[in-house]
Amino acid sequence: MAILKFRISWEEDDAIYRDVMVKHTQHFTDLHQIILKAFEFDEKHDATFFRSNEKWQRGREISKAVYEKNYVVPPLMMDEVLIGSEILNTNQQFVYLYDFAKSWTFLIQLIQVIKNADADMELNYPMVSRIEGVGPMQYGTKGLLGPNFTDIEEKYDLTDAQDGFGEEGEADAHASDEEGNELLGDLLSGEEDADESDDEDADDQDASGSDDASGMFDDSSEAY
C-alpha cells in the first residue's frame, strides 16, 4: 500500500492550494470529500473529476452521479473507482469541478508517492497536510466586523457620529475651548500685571538711583 500526496490548486489563483494525502486503495469519493473539507465547502452540490493531461485538458469523467447532460462516454463512478487505479505516471493530473452552477474548478496534481515502509499508518487518511493562501468563500465574502456589528451600531447610534463627534463630544469641545480662553486670559493678565510691576520697580530704581548718584557727586565735589 502507498500514500499519495496531491496538490489541489484553485484554478483562478494557483498560489492558493491545499496538499492532501490519501491511500491508493481509497476511492475518489474520499478524495472528493477531503478537497471540500480542505477548502471549507459544504457537500450539497454536484461534483465530478476529469482525467487530465499536462495541459489540463479534460478527459473522461469520474463523477459523483450520472447527471442529465451529454457525455462523450459514460462517466465512471467516484464510489467505485480506486484512486490508485487512475495513477498512470508520477505527475498524474486531474481536474475537479464542484457545483456546476458556480463552476468551482480545482487543479489536482500528484506530487509525491510515499511507500508503505515510509508512510505513517497511524494517521487518519485522507487528511490535509498543508494549507497555503486564503481560499475562496463558497457563498461570497464574510463581513470583517461580523454579524454583531449591526447590533453595536444600533446600540450606540454610530450613524449620528459620522463627522467624528457626537453632541457630547461637541459640548466637551466647547467647554475645552472656553477653559482654554480663560487660561489664556489669565496668562495675558498676569503678563500685564508683571509689566506694570516691572514699570513701577523701574521708576523706583530710577528715583533711588538719581538720589544715590547726586549724593555721590556731592561727596565727590566736597572731596575735591
Q: Are residues 118 and 74 in the same domain?
A: yes
Q: Pick the more confident residue, 77 or 165.
A: 77
State the DSSP H helix or E strand holding residue 45, giving kind and residue range, or none if neither: none
Say which CATH number the domain at 127 has: 3.10.290.30
| 144-159 pLDDT tens trace | 444 444 444 444 444 4
Q: Are residues 211 and 124 in the same domain?
A: no
What integer pLDDT is reported at residue 74 of this predicted model?
A: 96
Q: What is the band of 121 on the pLDDT scale with cuts at 50, 70, 90? A: confident
Q: Are residues 23 and 119 in the same domain?
A: yes
Distance of CA 72 to the CA centre of its chain: 44
pTM of the model: 0.63
Q: What is the band of 195 on the pLDDT scale with cuts at 50, 70, 90? A: low
Domain membership flag for residue 111:
yes
Domain membership flag for residue 100:
yes
* 95-114: average pLDDT: 97
| 4-57 pLDDT tens trace | 999 999 999 999 999 999 999 999 999 999 999 999 999 999 999 999 999 999
Q: Are residues 219 and 181 in the same domain?
A: yes
Q: Are residues 194 and 102 in the same domain?
A: no
Residue 104, domain extent: 2-132
pLDDT beyond 50 at 2: yes
* 159-172: average pLDDT: 44
Does residue 135 sit in helix, strand or coil?
coil
| Cα angle 133, 139, 143; round to 5 | 75
Last residue of a domain, one of 99, 132, 165: 132
**Residues 15 and 132: beta-carbon distance below 8 Å:** yes
Q: Are residues 209 and 100 in the same domain?
A: no
Q: Are residues 189 and 160 in the same domain?
A: yes
Q: Are residues 126 and 165 in the same domain?
A: no
Q: Are residues 27 and 107 in the same domain?
A: yes
Q: Are residues 68 and 113 in the same domain?
A: yes
Q: What is the band of 203 on the pLDDT scale with cuts at 50, 70, 90? A: low
Domain membership flag for residue 138:
no
Burial class (CB in 10 A: 0-12, 13-18, 19+), 78: buried
Q: Are residues 104 and 156 in the same domain?
A: no
Q: Are residues 58 and 125 in the same domain?
A: yes
Q: How many domains does the chain have?
A: 2
Torsions phi, psi for 191 (to 5 deg): -65, -40
Q: Pick the more confident residue, 140 or 224.
A: 140
What integer pLDDT is reported at residue 153 of this predicted model?
A: 43
What integer pLDDT is reported at residue 68 of this predicted model?
A: 93
Last residue of a domain, one of 77, 102, 132: 132
The grid coordinates listed for 212 are 544715590
